[in-house]
Amino acid sequence: MVRVKHRHLLIRFYPEPSDTAVAPFSAVLPHHVAAYVRDAVAGLFGDPGQSAITAGAKSMPVSTLPAGVPAGGKGPSLLYWNPGTGRAIVRVAREAAAPVRAAITLAAPMHITSSNGSKVFCTPRVVHIGGTLKSLLQAGREHLHLRRTLKSLLQAGREHLHLEQLAIIE
């Protein structure tokens, strides 16, 4: 048997400034996030790229695929979505990690219309790519710690931040 290797992408959705008042991600459901990732891949790489990343393109000639798109693989699957923090974990094949990251980074902001008619606009950013969930969770904790530290320093009125003061764990 052939072992299929995966990569996990930690994605953080940042709400637009006008949407930060009350629970910006309460209207965003897991299937919205999964559809957004699929649409981002389709928007950047088109139909050949989407079929190569999502369903595998073993029957397609490699010469017809866009540069950087792997020939075959399993599609992105959403493992985790937390509407409280705006974080998602997406699992992709190892060869598809870079194209999916590029698609998410270059895609337009996600917008969802909630049940009461208000629109939620949020911009996704890939925080970390890891081979295991353990490494991804550790990177997520460090990212959250860094954001809280920066926020507390900015609220304290310090204008000049030095990386030595932040105690960043590399």
pLDDT band at 74 (very low <50, low <70, confident <90, very high): low
Going from the C-alpha of 86 to that of each of 23, 81, 102, the distances in angstroms are: 10, 7, 19
- The larger pLDDT score, comparing residue 146 to residue 164, is at 146
pLDDT band at 9 (very low <50, low <70, confident <90, very high): very high
CB distance 15 to 122 below 8 Å: yes
Q: Please write the tens of the pLDDT for every residue from 75-129.
A: 788 899 988 888 899 999 888 899 999 999 999 888 877 666 777 788 899 999 9
Q: Please write the tens of the pLDDT for every residue from 129-142.
A: 999 988 888 888 88
Measuring CA to CA, which residue among 90, 81, 99 is closest to residue 43?
99
Is the entire prediction scored with pTM above 0.75?
no
Tell me whether strands 87-93 and 6-15 are parallel, antiparallel or unpaired.
Answer: antiparallel
